[in-house]
Amino acid sequence: MSSRARSLSFVATVAGLGYFILFASAQIIADWISGSVPFYDYIHIPFIILFGLSIVATWARPKAGYFMGLISGVAGIAVLSPFTFVKGVSSPANFGLFFYVITIFPMMLAAVLYSLMAYLDLRNPNRSISSNRLYLRRLIIILILGFIIGGVTVGSFAAGTENQLLSSLSSRADITIPRGATVQGNTAYSPGNFTVKAGQAVTWVNKDTTVHTVTSSSGLFDSGNLNPGQTWSHDFTQSGVYKYYCTLHAWMKGNVTVTP
């Protein structure tokens, strides 16, 4: 196997897996310092270990190392993408998550592709690599880097637009789900207690960058998923205090008080 092809595979594998290790570790440390470690941080830990071992193995025993990099990279994409990919890409205004998704998945994909190519080369060391295939390998890395740069650029513009749209949304709504409502301790519904006369409708608007619901604690009403920017109304006909919460973030709670 040509040393040029091999060094390219080595760099792509170490950079792809190493980037995830750095990003995910920094996230865990930041969350740990801020006092609450969400469940998806724990999902990252086995992959941090697996990717780290793959990098060491790639250095020490390339054939086994690239095979391990290939398998752990595929497992990483398969397990992590359902949690984050759709959510991250659908809301660029949630920039941390968007940046994570648009950089980590292409980098992992690069590590998988180059590990596969290096592994196949090492299994068949006598076969020489044509200059066309070397060229193709460089092209793949350029395409992946181009995708990341393009994605981050487009995402930054989209984030600006989404922020503008969310902040200019109608003030006709009675209750706002503000930006950052998912974070425990932040305002979930504003105002948290809203008073209305019986027979009137109450309107909620989701100005956050993620999906929320307005769901009665006693099963009387349910908005279903409210996407960023979406509004929802409910008519209150009988007086009383109506507690509601968000099914996706159970700590988000509010009240509607209906007077006769």
Identity of the amino acid at 99: F
Q: Which tokens go with 213? A: 């619901």
The nearer residue to Cu ion, 57 or 248, going by C-beta atoms, is 248
Least separation in angstroms between CB 249 and Cu ion: 4
Q: Which tokens go with 151? A: 């994605």
Say if residues 221 and 254 touch (Cβ distance below 8 Å).
Answer: no
Least separation in angstroms between CB 218 and Cu ion: 19
The nearer residue to Cu ion, 119 or 204, going by C-beta atoms, is 204
Tally of CB atoms within 10 A around 150: 11
Q: How far apart are CA 235 and CA 153, in angstroms?
A: 43
The nearer residue to Cu ion, 158 or 248, going by C-beta atoms, is 248
Least separation in angstroms between CB 195 and Cu ion: 23
The contact set with Cu ion (CB under 5 A) reads 212, 246, 248-249, 252
Least separation in angstroms between CB 234 and Cu ion: 17
- 180 Cβ contact list (under 8 Å, min separation 6): 186, 208
Q: How far apart are CA 144 and CA 147, in angstroms?
A: 5
Q: What is the DSSP letter of 221?
A: -
Least separation in angstroms between CB 213 and Cu ion: 6
The nearer residue to Cu ion, 179 or 212, going by C-beta atoms, is 212
The nearer residue to Cu ion, 25 or 203, going by C-beta atoms, is 203
Q: Which helix (H) or strand (E) holds 193?
A: strand 193-197
